[in-house]
């Protein structure tokens, strides 16, 4: 009897501390009732174990990486749409968010990412700073091409571009 859990390989871009970004395959538990979701990658990062297996796409090397050293993981936005659930079912739709803030995240090592933070929060906790100080180790930064899962520990500064524009307009 085979007791292994079926896995689904997902190609993502991975940037580890002190290294250049590389395309790797992550392995997600296969769900028979639906296709994988980008949330599954975030869940993999936020919960144990601390070391995750991957396969480097360029040299086919199998590696284990420490999640604490992940600066960001980029999940292609089109990846899920092309990867339909068994039986041709459509992928899960994106949730609707109440807040949409254009930001620049400046990271350790001089790297910056531009995108949008999409989140829901009550009005008294809707500021970007409230979202950054919320639970979890990783932020979701949306761009047209990718969803970046950014490790908060590597964020040096977050520039709220909309707040800056509003201040300049006054």
What's the pLDDT tens digit per position in 96-148?
788 899 999 999 999 999 999 999 988 888 899 999 999 999 999 999 999 99
What is the number of domains present in the chain? 1
Domain containing residue 137: 1-94+127-152
Task: Provide the pLDDT for residue 161.
Answer: 87
Whether residue 101 is contained in a domain is answered as: no
Whether residue 168 is contained in a domain is answered as: no
Whether residue 82 is contained in a domain is answered as: yes
In 24-34, which positions are buried (b, 16+ CB within 10 angstroms) versus exposed (e)? bbbbbeeeeee
Token pair recorded at residue 86: 């068994």
As a residue count, the chain comes to 170
Q: State the pTM of this model.
A: 0.81
Whether residue 164 is contained in a domain is answered as: no
Question: pLDDT category, 4, cuts 50, 70, 90?
Answer: low
Q: What are the two backbone dihedrals, phi and then psi, of residue 49, each rounded to the nearest 5 degrees? A: -85, 170
Task: Provide the pLDDT for residue 85.
Answer: 39
Whether residue 56 is contained in a domain is answered as: yes
Whether residue 57 is contained in a domain is answered as: yes
Whether residue 14 is contained in a domain is answered as: yes
Of 62, 46, 58, nearest to 7 by C-alpha is: 62
Task: Give residue-wise pLDDT tens across range 42-72.
Answer: 999 999 999 999 999 999 999 999 999 999 9
Q: Does the pLDDT of residue 10 top 50, yes or no? A: yes
Whether residue 106 is contained in a domain is answered as: no
DSSP reduced 3-state for 116: strand
Q: Does the pLDDT of residue 30 top 80, yes or no? A: no
Residue 115 near residue 107, CB atoms below 8 Å: no
């Amino acid at each position: 009897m085979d007791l292994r859990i079926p896995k689904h390989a997902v190609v993502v871009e991975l940037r580890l501390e002190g290294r250049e970004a590389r395309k790797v395959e992550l392995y997600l538990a296969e769900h028979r009732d639906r296709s994988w979701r980008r949330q599954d990658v975030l869940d993999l990062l936020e919960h144990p174990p601390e070391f995750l297996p991957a396969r480097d796409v360029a040299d086919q090397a199998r590696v284990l990486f420490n999640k604490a050293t992940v600066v960001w993981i980029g999940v292609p936005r089109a990846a899920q749409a092309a990867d339909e659930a068994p039986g041709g079912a459509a992928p899960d739709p994106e949730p609707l968010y109440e807040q949409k803030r254009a930001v620049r995240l400046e990271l350790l090592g001089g790297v910056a990412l531009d995108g949008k933070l999409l989140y829901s929060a009550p009005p008294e906790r809707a500021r970007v700073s409230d979202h950054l100080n919320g639970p979890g180790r990783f932020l979701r930064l949306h761009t047209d091409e990718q969803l970046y899962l950014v490790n908060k520990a590597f964020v040096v500064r977050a520039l709220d571009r909309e707040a800056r524009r509003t201040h300049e307009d006054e």
